[in-house]
Amino acid sequence: MSNELSDPISDALRSVRLAGGLFLDSRFTAPWCVAAQIGISECTPFVPGLVQAIGYHVVLEGRMWVVVEGESPVDVRAGEIVLLPRNDTHVMSSGLGLAPIRSVDLIRSASNGLLEIRHGGGNEPTHLVCGFLGTEEKFNPLLAALPRVLKVDIASATSRDWIETSVRFAAQELVRGRLASSSVMSRLSEVLLVEAVRAYTSELGDKAQGWLRGLADARIGRALALIHANLAAPWTADALAREVALSRSVFMERFTGLVGVPPIRYLATWRLNTAKRHLVETPMGVPQVGAAVGYESEEGFRRAFRREFGMSPADWRNRMR
């Protein structure tokens, strides 16, 4: 993998197993206003098995306002990208105060079989391409910690040249009636999210809390990435400290100070929450679930699960079903 992703943020994001792509070419002329949300059903033809999606829009020409209820309006201009990490319903428009119509009512299949929107009053044009990032995980601490709206200025991105080239390639393919290759689009989607998170954590500085604050630190971010990439590994504080080239005492102090809990407590909590998901979503037996998240014995897994959630794994499964 190339250098623009060789950092703790991208390492952690890779553990989320993201996929994505561009699927909609949208051309508006002022005045215009649409309410939109990326539907899972719109994404699964491109990436089957998704349960969570992050919508994003790349403005190629013009400008637009993006509003999520309860949040301040965001002005997005050509060369900028807006991401919706919670996949909230959002209003995009040429100006504030306009009445929206549903974007889904405007989407049509072009003669080449791709999806497009052509809408507006005939004045100033805005051209954007719409995409998504998806994951098969219902919960991830990074995605849960992000704000509802993120904006990335391509011009200031670390991976500017690569993003510009990929966006241009994808837009050209859409115009030609083809979807750009899935590998390029997934890569682009991943890089865009990396850039958005990097910009957001940089903006927060010392105000960042918990997972994001730890992620912004090169050593602790690397430790978090290692944990999520191989949850079942027999991690110890000593082993993690060695991996990130810190002494055990310095590692423990820094991890706890940034993330809010000691590393092994963090590991145990994430293992058990992952086990809860496996118990509901898979047919694996209790011993197999325990092994999948790193417990060497079934009894150890049962004790830890009961201590954390007040019931046995089997009782949890029965309750959820």
Dump pLDDT digits (tens) for 200-230.
777 766 665 567 778 778 899 889 888 887 8
- Could you give the angle at which helices 298-309 and 313-320 cross, rounded to 10 degrees? 60
Average pLDDT, the chain: 83
Average the pLDDT over 263-290 and give the result: 90
Q: What is the mean pLDDT of residues 180-192?
A: 69
Q: State the average pLDDT over residues 167-176.
A: 70
Fold of 3-207: Jelly Rolls (2.60.120)
CB atoms within 10 A of CB 265: 13
pLDDT bracket for residue 1 (50, 70, 90): very low
Q: How far apart are CA 183 and CA 217, in angstroms?
A: 29
Tell me the whole-structure pTM to 2 decimals: 0.67
pLDDT of residue 251: 97
In sequence order, which residues have a C-beta less than 8 Å from that of residue 194 and are 6 or more positions away? 4, 5, 7, 9, 10, 13, 159
Tens digit of pLDDT for each residue in 48-72? 667 778 888 989 899 999 999 999 9
| Residue (of 166, 172, 161, 168) closest to 188 by Cα position | 166
The tens digit of pLDDT for each residue in 18-29 reads: 677 767 889 999
Q: Regarding predicted confidence, which is higher, 107 or 194?
A: 107
Q: What is the percentage of the chain residues whose pLDDT exceeds 70?
A: 81
Report the C-alpha gap between 210 and 274 in whole angstroms. 19
Please state, as a whole number, how many other Cβ atoms lie within 10 Å of the Cβ of residue 76. Answer: 24
Q: Is the pLDDT of residue 6 over 60?
A: no
Looking at residues 33-41, what average pLDDT do you find?
86
**Which H or E run includes 134?**
strand 125-135
Average pLDDT over residues 90-99: 97
Instruction: Kindly indicate the confidence band of residue 296, based on its pLDDT and cuts at 50, 70 and 90.
Output: very high
Indicate the pLDDT class of residue 288, thresholds 50, 70 and 90.
Answer: very high
SS3 23: strand
Domain regions of the chain by residue span: 3-207, 217-321
Q: Is the pLDDT of residue 178 over 50?
A: yes
Fold topology of 217-321: Arc Repressor Mutant, subunit A (1.10.10)
pLDDT of res. 131: 83
